[in-house]
């Protein structure tokens, strides 16, 4: 998508309203993971360098249109102030006379954090489009330019993520620009071979992604729980493994269409019983070929032979996109396949390949493996990156001004 960014327009001295993604974990007023706040710093610092007056807005959780104190963005303003080493004022609301007064008085170089936009039902009301646009207009009235830097919510057509762009010059921030540069180029203009790695629990979550990537990629590796529906389509016994029977025929079609492209695990780690509530093995793991899963067992990870097969494909690629773990990575015994893939991607990066992690569980796995710095790009948006891989248009980006 050829969209304007904050580097493409004159922002000198302008009042700018920025949609950030500060939907961070907060307990008892304390933030346990500030990664999303830290990710917004390049954009904020660029705007400060342009002597902008900055108004930040975000959602936090699901307060369902009510002003609940536990969903206040106050802790994020405190954390941002700490990271920047300068004051960040906290507004009592996100719209209204008091907010308008604060925004009007905001001087170049100053930052104002608005309160949770989801305190208003109009923010994400799917039915009342006019009400949503009216709310967006109130937000837009606070500034002269709109910047969207919240890739994690770019797949939602909400007032603050999309509709504000209908009332102001609208560009993306540096975080979204980075996502577009890496994800967009990887799918539309990759250095080949392009390898896509898809995992996770359900085939149903990835059908549009598989459809799109079969057209774009040179190889599509399929692992995780979704592999077992493919095995079923091949006529294999899968025991108690996860399977979506309604999609067996769909997987048969994918296997026919993607002959030579789709690569499945050749062996799996299975167990007779697993406690998914506590993420704990109840019976020992054993490794079996994909065609020899016992009827009383379920697949929980890929085996060593699959790791070597996938590693070879990864190391021969020039562009690799990964979305979804290879097994139950929340348990140490069944996380080895996922971490081995992360390690292979880190090696590929070292050999000059472009390695992209498509957010969500894959990003968590790479972080747990301590390999974030060894990837070319780790996406900040799980749902957004998924829809990007599906080839969908993201409202939070499509509403921005074209170059």
pLDDT digits (tens, 9 = 90+) for 135-157: 999 999 999 999 999 998 998 89
Active site residue 299: no
Q: With respect to residue 302, please indicate whether it lies within any of the assigned structural domains.
A: yes
pLDDT at 145: 98
Whether 120 is covered by a domain: the verdict is yes
Query: Among 109, 383, 391, 392, which one carries the catalytic annotation?
Result: 383
Burial grade of 64 (CB within 10 A; 0-12, 13-18, 19 or more): exposed
Residue 1's pLDDT is 64
Among candidate residues 68, 185, 202, 261, the one labeled active-site is 202
Annotated catalytic residue, options 3, 36, 118, 219: 36
Q: Can 36 be counted among the known catalytic residues?
A: yes
Kindly state the average pLDDT of the residues 358-382: 87
Which residue among the candidates 199, 360, 381, 382 is catalytic per the annotation?
Answer: 360
Which tens digit of pLDDT belongs to each residue from 104-130? Answer: 999 999 999 999 999 999 999 989 999
* 125 lies in some domain: yes
Report whether 309 contacts 197 (CB < 8 A): no
Nearest CA among 158, 168, 114 for reference residue 135: 158
Question: What CATH number does the domain containing 260 carry?
Answer: 3.40.50.1260
157 and 302 assigned to the same domain: no
CA–CA separation, 193 vs 322, rounded Å?
Answer: 14
Q: What is the pLDDT of residues 219-246, one digit of tens each?
A: 999 999 999 999 999 999 999 999 999 9
Q: Is residue 286 part of a domain?
A: yes
pLDDT at 202 over 70: yes
For residue 206, cis peptide bond before it (omega within 30 degrees of 0):
no
pLDDT mean over 325-335 = 94
Last residue of a domain, one of 136, 154, 175: 175
Give the list of residues 6+ apart from residue 191 with CB closer than 8 angstroms, or none.
318, 319, 354
- Domain, as residue range, for 124: 15-175
Residue, of 87 and 364, whose pLDDT is higher: 87
Report yes or no on 222 lying in a domain: yes
The pLDDT confidence band at residue 213, using thresholds 50, 70 and 90, is: very high
pLDDT for 383 beyond 90:
no
Confidence of residue 15 (pLDDT cuts 50, 70, 90): very high
Domain match, 238 and 385 both: yes
Please indicate, yes or no, whether residues 288 and 361 belong to a single structural domain of this protein. Answer: yes
Residue 333 lies in a domain: yes
Same structural domain, 194 and 45 = no
Q: Both 155 and 199 in a single domain?
A: no
* Mean pLDDT estimate for the chain: 94
- Contact between 91 and 97 under an 8 Å Cβ cutoff? The reply is no
Q: Specify the DSSP class assigned to residue 184.
A: I
- Same domain assignment for residues 226 and 319: yes
């Amino acid at each position: 998508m050829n969209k304007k960014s904050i580097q493409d327009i004159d922002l000198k001295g302008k009042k700018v309203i920025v949609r950030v993604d500060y939907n961070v974990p907060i307990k008892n007023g304390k933030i346990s993971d500030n990664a999303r706040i830290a990710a917004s710093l390049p954009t904020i610092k660029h705007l400060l360098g342009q002597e902008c007056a900055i108004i930040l807005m975000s959602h936090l959780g699901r307060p369902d249109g009510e002003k609940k104190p536990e969903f206040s963005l106050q802790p994020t303003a405190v954390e941002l102030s700490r990271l920047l080493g300068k004051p960040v004022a906290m507004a009592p609301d996100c719209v209204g006379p008091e907010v308008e007064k604060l925004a009007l008085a905001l001087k170049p170089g100053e930052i104002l954090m608005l309160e949770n936009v989801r305190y208003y039902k109009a923010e994400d009301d799917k039915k009342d489009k006019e009400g949503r646009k009216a709310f967006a207009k109130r937000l837009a009235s606070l500034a002269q330019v709109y910047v969207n830097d919240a890739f994690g919510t770019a797949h939602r057509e909400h007032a603050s993520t999309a509709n504000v762009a209908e009332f102001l010059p609208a560009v993306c921030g540096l975080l979204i620009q980075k996502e577009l540069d890496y994800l967009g180029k990887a799918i539309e203009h990759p250095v080949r071979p392009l390898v896509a790695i898809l995992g996770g629990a359900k085939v149903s979550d990835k059908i549009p992604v598989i459809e799109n990537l079969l057209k774009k990629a040179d190889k599509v590796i399929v692992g995780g729980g979704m592999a077992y529906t493919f095995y079923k389509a091949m006529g294999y016994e899968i025991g108690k493994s996860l399977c979506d029977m309604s999609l067996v025929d769909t997987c048969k079609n994918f296997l026919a269409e993607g002959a030579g492209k789709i690569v499945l695990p050749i062996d799996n780690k299975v167990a007779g019983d697993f406690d998914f509530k506590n993420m704990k093995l109840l019976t020992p793991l054993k490794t079996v070929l994909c065609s020899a899963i016992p009827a009383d067992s379920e697949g929980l990870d890929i085996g060593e032979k699959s790791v070597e097969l996938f590693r070879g494909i990864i190391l021969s690629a020039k562009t690799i996109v990964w979305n979804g773990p290879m097994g139950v990575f929340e348990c140490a015994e069944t996380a080895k396949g996922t971490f081995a893939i992360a390690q292979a991607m880190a090696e590929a990066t070292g050999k000059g390949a472009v390695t992209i992690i498509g957010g969500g569980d894959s990003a968590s796995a790479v972080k747990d493996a301590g390999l974030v710095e060894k990837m070319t790009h780790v996406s900040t948006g799980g749902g957004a990156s998924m829809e990007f891989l599906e080839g969908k248009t993201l409202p939070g980006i499509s509403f921005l001004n074209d170059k």
